[in-house]
Amino acid sequence: MAIKCRFCGKWLDERHEGPQYARNPQPEPQPEPQQSYSQQQTPPPPPPQYGQQAPPQYNQQVPPQYTQPYYNEPQRSKSNGLGIAGFILALLSLLTGWIPVLGWVIWLLGLIFSFIGIFRKPRGLAIAGLIISFLALCAIIAITGGVLTAAKEAMANFGDL
């Protein structure tokens, strides 16, 4: 049985050694003749990669460069935080306006934030918050006036007893 190395292909058995058993003899590499400096040629330029153009050759017209606009610029935030806060506080002031101190503080903060938010873009919610703040002010005045009137009448009726 003949034994051959699976890595290098060399016969490990002595009877298979020799030139008559070599199947594919490899020729020995011949050294390349040295060229003088004037005989050496410059290698051709590498082929262009995808998306690149080949470099222009001598006496060849160069095409104009096309620059594509860059659309992936970061977008500025299109929200108005103070306007949104003023709008939400104005809505809350409509609901809590009947509470003596808490409703008034919420109303005042909603009015201030909405007013500052008008000077920033987008203005929609800031304007809505300002309008709702004025409606809440009317409601707060009406409710406070009604409570004070009722308290005055109650005191007058209590004094009659």
Query: Domain boundaries in the chain?
Result: 81-153
- In three-state secondary structure terms, 11 is strand
pLDDT at 149: 94
pLDDT at 69: 64
Phi, psi of 42, rounded to the nearest 5 degrees: -75, 140
Q: How large is the greatest C-alpha to C-alpha distance in the chain, in angstroms?
A: 141
Pure H helices in 41-123: 81-96, 102-117
Report how far residue 131's alpha carbon sits from residue 63's, in angstroms, rounded to the nearest whole number: 61
- Give me the half-sphere count of Cα atoms (radius 13 Å) on the Cβ side of residue 142: 7
pLDDT at 56: 60
pLDDT at 48: 64
**If you search the block for the tokens 């050294």, which residue do you land on?**
31
Report how far residue 47's alpha carbon sits from residue 75's, in angstroms, rounded to the nearest whole number: 38
Q: What are the residue ranges in the chain where pLDDT is below 50? A: none
Structure tokens of 32? 């390349």
Q: State the angle between helix axes of 81-96 and 124-159 in degrees (0 to 180), rounded to the nearest 10.
A: 20
**If you search the block for the tokens 């809350």, which residue do you land on?**
92
| Residue 80 · residue 88 · CB < 8 Å | no
Give strand pairing partners of 4: 11
pLDDT at 124: 92
pLDDT at 8: 82
The secondary structure of residue 4, as a DSSP letter, is B
> Model pTM?
0.49
pLDDT at 119: 93
